[in-house]
Chains A and B, each alone.
Chain A
Amino acid sequence: EPEVTQTPSHQVTQMGQEVILRCVPISNHLYFYWYRQILGQKVEFLVSFYNNEISEKSEIFDDQFSVERPDGSNFTLKIRSTKLEDSAMYFCASSVSLDRGSISNQPQHFGDGTRLSIL
């Protein structure tokens, strides 16, 4: 079964440094998402991406965050200047295959996540 893959599995970074988290969504999926989960808390929506642009973003997704689809397979999340409170598990998800059509009510498949630790 196709899977969403994320790299690295664990990233340790000094506060103030830039990090890039990478995701390879399921092939022929069209919608991509980033979520984060602070340890012991619920999963929180960050951003959705479709047709090479952001569809929606949450209040968490401020100017320090950006997303990009640099080629036909990768989907990246960049945090420009990391803060201690950015420490969390970051999950990428994708949904909708080309032959499904509408975005409405399509399951989102999650990757294994990247654990980001800011020191």
Chain B
Amino acid sequence: GENVEQHPSTLSVQEGDSAVIKCTYSDSASNYFPWYKQELGKRPQLIIDIRSNVGEKKDQRIAVTLNKTAKHFSLHITETQPEDSAVYFCAGGDNQGGKLIFGQGTELSVKP
């Protein structure tokens, strides 16, 4: 069935370092891949998304890459700051009603 695997489950970096979170998906029909940031007790907030006709997208310190052949997509955060600390979720979606299948989440900790 549809599944999104996300790694690592926890990630600790020093302030200023880069962080990379990786996801793989199983459903070939998936063509939309958003990333959400969730702070403790709060809503998931969309931080960046990528569509299947694009291989890479960048927004300031955040970038996402997509390899459709390998069914991999990754989130890259450069120059990390303590306020980047949160749980990050990747997700995969398709055109059939738009439901999102989420990965298990990565708890990112940025140490000052």
Contact = CB atoms under 8 A, between A and B. Distances in A.
A112 B43 contact: yes
Nearest to B101: A45
Interface residues of B, number: 25
B112 interface: no
B44 A103 contact: no
Given A44-B102, A106-B98, A91 B44 contact: yes
A110 B45 contact: yes
Interface in A70-114: 91, 95-96, 102-113
A50 B97 contact: yes
B100 A42 contact: no
A55 B71 CA distance: 26
Contacts of A55: 97-98
B28 interface: no
B51 to A, nearest CB: 5
B1 to A, nearest CB: 9
Interface in B89-109: 89, 91, 93, 95-105
Interface string B33-52: 01010000011111001010
B31 interface: yes
B99 A45 contact: yes
Interface of A: 31, 33, 35, 41-45, 48, 50, 55-56, 58, 91, 95-96, 102-113
Given A105-B93, A108-B46, A110-B36, 18 more contacts: A33-B99, A42-B103, A43-B36, A43-B100, A44-B102, A45-B99, A45-B100, A45-B102, A55-B97, A56-B96, A56-B97, A103-B95, A104-B95, A106-B98, A109-B46, A112-B42, A112-B43, A113-B43
